[in-house]
């Protein structure tokens, strides 16, 4: 395997999860390139050694960071690109690219659907940027950025068709508080990460409405079966749906107080409007945007997905949350 010190790594994004990945990279690499959205963030990290907006307790050694607000500079100087921006901003972010991604290994850790295209990020990159599937990787949990900041033991799955590339990325991220494993289920892993956010919104809505742990457990057990049915259509490769990349990620997102998607749903269940929740939260809840994209994609797959349908009805059709969740409860077992 090529020594990590010889790998040129770039990170695109400066939100909470991008900051968590930056912390992992700084544990393993002598230096890496980091694109951030504006000069304020750049100067704050360089001068104050932390992100001013997210995971502010994480300190960085500025000597390890080549920070830039020019995405072409970061891409040009990197062989491995970690793409970690919210799905709703991906198209705008990459629209500034004049450097080709075709000779790069692009690792996405974005758990959402590209708006208007209704594609997962990996498929969007393949279709719009002519990236071969062999040049694509995916990082999935279960892993909350906040627990990375606290250095609590966490687990990541790195999916890629090329085992060597998957192991190289895993070595970039693994450290004393991050355990890694590899997989070849690129699109299944990515799509599972998208779906679990929708199910976490459902869990939050139920909690906000006053449903208890018993219902929550039934909701999650039905969710993993629903996810499995969908993933069989997305990517027919063999997988163990009980693996941490699928079931584990679903559980932590559906149960944890760190979960922004659960928080989003909880506020909806308590009676907040969608727009008021979006305005109040300072982070993107990918599950909200993913719900519409997955619902549209599911029309083609013709899969029974009552949980996703219920969440879509509440978020996009204005259906009463209490009545819709009661109807859903009658369909679960």
Contact by Cβ (8 Å): 231, 239: yes
CA–CA distance, 26 with 151 (Å, rounded to integer): 13
Token pair belonging to 10: 């770039």
Which residues, in sequence order, are CB contacts of 70 under 8 Å at separation 6+? 35
CA–CA distance, 43 with 230 (Å, rounded to integer): 44
DSSP state string for 261-322: HHHHHHHHHTT--HHHHHHH-SS--HHHHHHHHHHHHHHHHT---HHHHHHHHHHHS---HH
CA–CA distance, 211 with 202 (Å, rounded to integer): 11
92 carries a ligand binding annotation: no
37 carries a ligand binding annotation: no
Which residues, in sequence order, are CB contacts of 179 under 8 Å at separation 6+? 153, 154, 155, 156
Token pair belonging to 11: 């990170």
Is 196 a residue of the active site? Answer: yes
Q: Please tell me which residue in 196, 304, 323, 331 is annotated as part of the active site.
A: 196
262 carries a ligand binding annotation: no
53 carries a ligand binding annotation: no
Q: Which residues are annotated as a binding site for NAD(+)?
A: 145, 260
Residue ranges for the known binding site are 111, 145, 260-261
- Cite the active site residues: 196
Which parts are annotated binding residues for substrate?
111, 260-261
């Amino acid at each position: 395997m090529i020594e990590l010190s010889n790998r040129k790594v770039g990170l695109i994004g400066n939100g909470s999860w991008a900051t968590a990945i930056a912390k992992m990279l700084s544990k393993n690499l002598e230096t890496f390139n980091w694109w951030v959205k504006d000069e304020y963030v750049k100067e704050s990290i360089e001068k104050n050694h932390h992100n001013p907006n997210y995971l502010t307790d994480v300190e960085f050694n500025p000597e390890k960071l080549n920070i830039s607000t020019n995405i072409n500079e970061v891409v040009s100087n990197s062989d491995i690109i970690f793409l970690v921006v919210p799905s709703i901003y991906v198209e705008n972010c990459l629209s500034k690219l004049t450097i080709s991604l075709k000779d790069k290994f692009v690792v996405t850790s974005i758990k959402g659907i590209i708006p208007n295209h209704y594609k997962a990020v990996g498929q969007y990159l393949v279709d719009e940027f002519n990236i071969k599937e062999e040049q694509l990787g995916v990082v999935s949990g279960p892993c909350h950025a906040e627990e990375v900041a606290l250095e609590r033991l966490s687990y990541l799955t790195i999916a890629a068709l090329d085992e060597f590339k998957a192991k190289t990325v895993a070595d970039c991220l693994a450290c004393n508080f991050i355990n890694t494993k590899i997989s070849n289920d690129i699109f299944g892993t990515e799509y599972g990460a998208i779906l679990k956010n929708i199910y976490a919104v459902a869990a939050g809505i139920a909690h906000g409405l006053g449903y208890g742990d018993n219902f929550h457990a039934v909701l999650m057990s039905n969710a993993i079966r629903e996810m499995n049915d969908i993933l069989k259509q997305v990517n027919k490769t063999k997988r163990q749906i009980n693996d941490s990349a699928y079931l584990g990620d679903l559980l932590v997102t559906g149960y944890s107080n760190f979960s922004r998607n659960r928080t989003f749903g909880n506020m909806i269940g308590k009676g907040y409007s969608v727009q008021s929740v979006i305005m109040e939260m300072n982070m993107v809840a990918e599950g909200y945007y993913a719900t519409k994209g997955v619902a549209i994609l599911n029309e083609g797959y013709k899969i029974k997905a009552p949980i996703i349908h219920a969440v879509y009805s509440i978020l996009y059709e204005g259906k009463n949350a209490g009545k819709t969740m009661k109807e859903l409860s009658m369909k679960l077992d």
